[in-house]
Amino acid sequence: MSEADYGIARRIAWMKEYEEKKGVPSICEKYSISRKTFYKWLKRYRRSAKNTASLADLSRRPHYSPRATSPAIVQRLRELREKTGFGQKRLKLYLSIWYDIELSESAIWKLLKKSGVDMKKKKLLRRKVRPNDALLPGDRVIVTFKFITNEVDKRQFVQYSAIDECTRLRITRIYGRHSTLSALDFVQFVLMHFPFLIRYIQTPLDNAFASVSKPRSRTHAFTMNLRKLGIKHEVPSKKKLAVNRFMERIKRLDEVEPYCSKPFSSPDELQQEAARYLFRYNNERPIPMIENLSPVEKLRTYQEFVTVSRFDPYTIPG
């Protein structure tokens, strides 16, 4: 007999003895229980019309837990785990940096394990990208920026672009200010919307991405945040700048977009124009450098991305 069945059998014996003798003190003394306990079960037994099932122990789980982690956070945590493969230490940093969500490593482990994620599964080692290796999706993402002046009110905005060098998939966003915070916010958007892991991010030599006086410094906020997330940050050396190879590659990938020459009333309007243009660029436009395939068609040539039907990180109105 299980412990639960034994508990029910004891309480049935209390009720039977009470119906026969009506002597509560003697019953409590015989079964070593308090009167409060007996009357609690008697009340429950009578309310159920003397159904013996009512004498089973109920769950002690609270009906409401105000400090419980919300399902939205748990879902985001699962998505990050599935996409990045990070352990609880890096997931903690990721949530803290990008989403201002503070969870302990033990809490992350318990939440993921409870939601069915195999936390003992070994993480796949990231492939090292060597100069002569054929690039795979996410091996090298080039981040660029350029200033756009509104012809209506002469206000200046900055456009950040991220181009995957393998597939030519591209994301662009408009910001009101060129800064490290804007660059990190853009990288967050890129990490969450590119359908692959990013191994290297390559940027121009600019104070928003790296120290101009010490381009190889590892203490810049942009570099440090990427390193915490397992992404390497590359900045062109002075030698590359001298021969102009890096800038030539940027110019080939970051062409002049037609929407930039149109007047716009607000940065949101410009962002919508960019979203429409990039939807066609990523999904429909053939690119000579990738065998006249569109970026999405190029992505589908890799086995793990054959089910990707289209790439649309934006919400395009209308």
CATH number at residue 173: 3.30.420.10
Q: Are residues 273 and 193 in the same domain?
A: yes
Angstrom distance (rounded) from CA 46 to CA 257: 78
Q: Which domain holds residue 103?
A: 71-114
Count of structural domains, the chain: 3
pLDDT tens for 17-73 read 888 887 888 889 888 899 999 999 889 888 888 888 888 888 777 777 777 888 888
Domain co-membership, 178 together with 102: no
Examine the domain organization and report whether 105 and 24 are in the same domain: no
How much is the pTM? 0.65
What DSSP letter does each residue of 138-161 carry, written as one string?
A: TS-EEEEEEEEE-TTT--EEEEEE
Question: pLDDT tier at 272 (50, 70, 90 boundaries)?
Answer: confident
pLDDT higher for 52 or 238? 52
pLDDT at 318: 37
- Residue 78's pLDDT band (boundaries 50, 70, 90)? confident
Interacting residues of 57 by C-beta distance below 8 A, sequence separation 6+: 4, 7
Let me know whether 171 and 48 are in one domain.
no
Would the pLDDT of 135 be above 80?
A: yes
Find out whether 316 and 302 touch, Cβ atoms under 8 Å: no
**pLDDT at residue 125 above 60?**
no
Which residue from 43, 56, 48 is spatially nearest to 11, judged by alpha carbons? Answer: 56
Residues 270 and 155 occupy one common structural domain: yes
Q: Any idea of the CA torsion for 15, 19, 24, 30, to the nearest 10 degrees?
A: -60
- Residue 153 is predicted with a pLDDT of 75
Q: Using one digit for the tens of pLDDT, what is the confidence trace for 59-76?
A: 777 777 777 888 888 888
User: Which residue(s) pair with 141 in the sheet?
Assistant: 164, 201
Are 7 and 149 in the same domain? no
Same domain assignment for residues 47 and 177: no
Establish if 134 belongs to a structural domain.
no
In a domain, 287, yes or no: yes
Instruction: Identify whether 203 is part of a domain.
Output: yes
Distance CA 197, CA 185 (A): 17
In this structure, the answer to whether residues 151 and 289 fall within a common structural domain is yes
